[in-house]
């Protein structure tokens, strides 16, 4: 069973479109990020932290986990830090290897050093300050190996 799952993941990496979850409560930001990210993969969108965790868990349960999550911090119901912690805790419980963990880019207007440090301590992959520098985002996606 574990071997079958690994083969499926390798096949996914080899040619299948990447799966991206965009978690953003602001309509204009959500639309902008989605339009940009569609060039890298199939995008799902959620508007709050609770929806984000539900989407993440459903994708994992369907054995089609996300490759990338673009996560805002300030959102209703659950903030981005709570979502990040929940995802990383679930990955730990499931024994997901570090290299197989979902890449999480925090995209937020909270640019104070304490916020950045907190996000990295909790396990974010990259922290991007708003307004987003899309050249930097493109570079980050390429460095993460998510651009085909």
Q: What confidence category does residue 1 fall into, taking pLDDT thresholds of 50, 70 and 90?
A: very low
Other C-beta atoms closer than 10 Å to the C-beta of 4 total 9
Is 136 among the domain residues?
yes
Please give the model's pTM, rounded to 2 decimal places. 0.86
Instruction: Flag whether pLDDT at 9 surpasses 80.
Output: no
Position 40 scores a pLDDT of 93
Instruction: Flag whether pLDDT at 88 surpasses 50.
Output: yes
Is 90 among the domain residues?
yes
Position 19 scores a pLDDT of 96
- Per cent of the chain over pLDDT 70 is 90
Is 71 among the domain residues?
yes
Position 129 scores a pLDDT of 87
Which domain, by its residues, includes 121?
A: 18-140
Report how far apart the first and last C-alpha atoms of the chain are (Å, whole number): 29
Q: Tell me the average pLDDT of the chain.
A: 87
Is 2 among the domain residues?
no
Position 148 scores a pLDDT of 75
Is 88 among the domain residues?
yes
Q: What confidence category does residue 111 fall into, taking pLDDT thresholds of 50, 70 and 90?
A: confident
Is 55 among the domain residues?
yes
Position 7 scores a pLDDT of 47
Is 12 among the domain residues?
no
Instruction: Flag whether pLDDT at 101 surpasses 70.
Output: yes
pLDDT, one tens digit per residue, over 60-73 is 999 999 999 999 99
Is 27 among the domain residues?
yes
The count of domains in the chain is: 1
Average pLDDT over every residue of 81-103: 93
Average pLDDT over every residue of 12-39: 87
E-strand ranges in 6-135 read 18-23, 41-46, 68-71, 103-108, 126-129
CATH number of the domain that 48 lies in?
3.40.50.2300
């Amino acid at each position: 069973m574990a071997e079958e799952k690994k083969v499926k993941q390798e096949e996914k990496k080899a040619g299948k479109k990447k799966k991206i979850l965009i978690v953003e409560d602001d309509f204009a930001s959500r639309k902008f990020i989605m339009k940009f990210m569609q060039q890298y993969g199939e995008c799902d969108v959620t508007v709050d932290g609770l929806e984000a965790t539900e989407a993440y868990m459903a994708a994992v349960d369907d054995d089609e986990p996300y490759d990338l999550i673009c996560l805002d911090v300030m959102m209703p119901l659950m903030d981005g830090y709570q979502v990040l912690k929940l995802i990383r805790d679930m990955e730990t419980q499931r024994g997901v290897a570090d290299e197989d963990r979902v890449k999480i880019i925090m995209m937020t207007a909270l640019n104070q050093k304490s916020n950045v440090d907190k996000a990295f301590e909790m396990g974010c992959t990259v922290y991007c300050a708003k307004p987003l520098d899309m050249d930097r985002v493109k570079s980050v996606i390429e460095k993460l190996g998510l651009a085909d």
